[in-house]
Homo-oligomer: A and B are copies of this chain.
Amino acid sequence: MIKAGIIGATGYAGGELVRILANHREVEIVWYGSRSYIDKQYCEVYQNMFRIVEDVCKDDNLGELAEQVDVIFTATPQGFLAGLLTEEILSKVKIVDLSADYRIKDVEIYEKWYGIQHKSPQFIPEAVYGLCEVNRSQITPSTRLVANPGCYTTCSILTAYPLVKEGLIDVDTLIIDAKSGTSGAGRGAKVPNLFCEVNENIKAYGVASHRHTPEIEEQLGYAGDCKVMINFTPHLVPMNRGILVTEYAGLKQKKDGTLPSWEEIRAAYNKYYAGEKFVRVLDRGVCPETRWVEGSNYVDVNFVIDERTGRVIMMGALDNLVKGAAGQAVQNMNLLFGLEESRGLELVPCFP
């Protein structure tokens, strides 16, 4: 039985970790860390867990936690883990970090976009970017630190990855228009996240400045073996869960001057995703919708070619709390402990 601790267990991503791990037969949560609710029963905060979780919330003591558990999930604000992580801790415990602290290899870019100083850049090289479908081979029982990808980034990258990797699109033209449910904004008590402010509204935010931009650029840069600079625009949608990305890019002409066909693009998706349990390339003509992945670890992707403009419109949908956060974290944990990758993640999407 793997002993797990969660720091930030009462945020939405933390709560989703609890929900998923409750049905994971190889894992036991022994530490529900929540600075805001210390000594309060976990199920008083999340009544859905009444009679399922009996534990009380504990504080954030990373050192003590490292003694007691095999894996720590940190669902914490940016900078939290970077400020506390030490070689001693890493020598005792595996960490799956749901924050952005170790996602970006270039610490200057991290510090610029996040506006904070990185307190432990020495661990960045070691951290594996935990996008399992891309980096699976690096996530092994000998890995100590996984940087769990962001919700927007997971969706954005997986939707475009095969076409970037295969050189089918001109990455300089890539534009990502993303839409997210409100759980992505977290559980902090802020006026802009009140029901009446979000309901019956849609807005863009963080235009040309959202922090997931460099993360997407770095990862797609590895895929395309080139420098990538994109426009990424997130929008807030009045729903609880779900991210949809709509991505636009110019198709590269083939040597004969024609554009890639639908079959060729489809083949690229199949090449990378045919064997992937959690990536579903939809049938021709079917657009991804967030409702079809809700509550599950799936990413649904598809594309349309616009022959008039020579562009491909790629679309992807996932549940931001599952494949975009807690589900992917469990997927990473499974790999870290040599378990079947999908263990505990046989979650059937819930509709309606």
Contact = CB atoms under 8 A, between A and B. Distances in A.
Contact of A292 (B48, B195, B198, B346): B48
Contacts of A283: 50
Contacts of A304: 207-208
B196 A240 contact: yes
Contacts of A286: 47
Nearest to A286: B47
Nearest to A277: B51
Contacts of A19: 348-351
A242 B352 contact: no
Contact of A200 (B207, B242, B309): B242
A122 interface: no
A188 B315 CA distance: 27
Given A238-B195, A248-B175, A200 B352 contact: yes
A349 B207 contact: no
Contacts of A289: 47, 201-203
Interface in A269-325: 280, 282-283, 286-296, 300, 304-306, 308-309, 311, 313, 315, 317
A225 B284 CA distance: 37
Interface in A199-218: 199-205, 207-208
B352 A241 contact: yes
A40 interface: no
Nearest to A308: B229
A205 B181 CA distance: 18
A194 B186 CA distance: 10
A235 B352 contact: no
A191 B230 CA distance: 35
A12 interface: yes
A78 interface: no
A14 to B, nearest CB: 12
A244 interface: yes
Contact of A187 (B196, B237, B244): B196
A19 B348 CA distance: 6
Nearest to A322: B350
Given A177-B248, A182-B199, A200-B294, 11 more contacts: A12-B196, A50-B283, A182-B196, A195-B238, A195-B240, A196-B352, A202-B290, A203-B244, A205-B287, A208-B305, A295-B350
The 6 closest A-B pairs by CB, nearest first: A48-B349, A196-B352, A201-B291, A203-B289, A208-B306, A195-B198
26 contacts: A15-B351, A23-B346, A48-B292, A48-B348, A48-B350, A48-B351, A179-B202, A181-B200, A182-B195, A187-B194, A189-B194, A197-B291, A199-B352, A200-B240, A200-B242, A200-B294, A201-B291, A202-B237, A204-B313, A204-B315, A207-B306, A231-B309, A231-B311, A233-B246, A237-B238, A238-B239
